Structure 1
């Protein structure tokens, strides 16, 4: 692997269509395994990526299939970093409110658990806007 200052990385750009989710989640799982994670952890990373990309397609792009979602996977010595960009708008760290799982069970509703799953399955999640694009950055530390 390269030094941490110059991580190995690659990008994938997909249309904003849910039919490409299997491609993205399969890639995320495989990248997690390559980074040294076990199968269970790799599956959780894949679920987090699925939730993040689905949120972009459904919420940022309102289901419109004519946009693009850009995904970058960076292999760092200490972690796998996954960045997801869109131009449809997004969250900021200060806007994120995670649902209380106990309340959710008492009063179930459709949706709302994606961010909670992402936060539970990843070590860090950050949201920001840069140069007219919204970014979700998720980090999963690799085993020592």
Structure 2
């Protein structure tokens, strides 16, 4: 497969999440993943975009969230771009699942799911453009 890619831009509102998750699931299937794997990709993307809407944009609905889906020979890459408050890689703390069950709290579980369901999760801040990115990668096969 050549390096196909496409983009979807949605308003920063949770009511559009099903468009994003549907796209992520279909993209995973097109990349050759099975249904169970495609569902996990969809959940990870749902978590990432929800984080952008609720945390980066603080629930403000007049912004936009951009998804860039890239197919390579070895992986499906989903880049989630926004101009909200960024998160640096060194700020990412994954909760220990056993501790989380003992002391449940709001937040943190989405990052854990993302890291479990995807092969790579990274965050980048671009100070120059003011754009921030969450990159989710799922290897094929």
Give your verdict on TM over 0.5: yes
Report the alpha carbon displacement of residue 109 of structure 1 after superposing the two structures with TM. 1.9
The Cα offsets for residues 66-103 of structure 1, whole Å up to 9 and x where unpaired, read as 00000000000000000000101221111110001111
Normalised to the residue count of structure 1, the TM-score between the two structures is: 0.94
1:72-111 equivalence runs, <5 A: 72-111=68-107
Normalised to the residue count of structure 2, the TM-score between the two structures is: 0.96
Aligned residues: 139
Structure 1 residue runs without a partner (length 5+)? none
1:133 to 131, 134, 137: 131
Counterpart for residue 68 of structure 1? 64
8 Å Cα contact 1:52-1:114 kept in structure 2: yes
Does 2:114 match 1:118?
yes
Report the alpha carbon displacement of residue 110 of structure 1 after superposing the two structures with TM. 2.6
- Mapped partners of 1:49, 1:86: distance in 2: 14
List structure 1 runs of 4+ shifted beyond 4 angstroms.
none
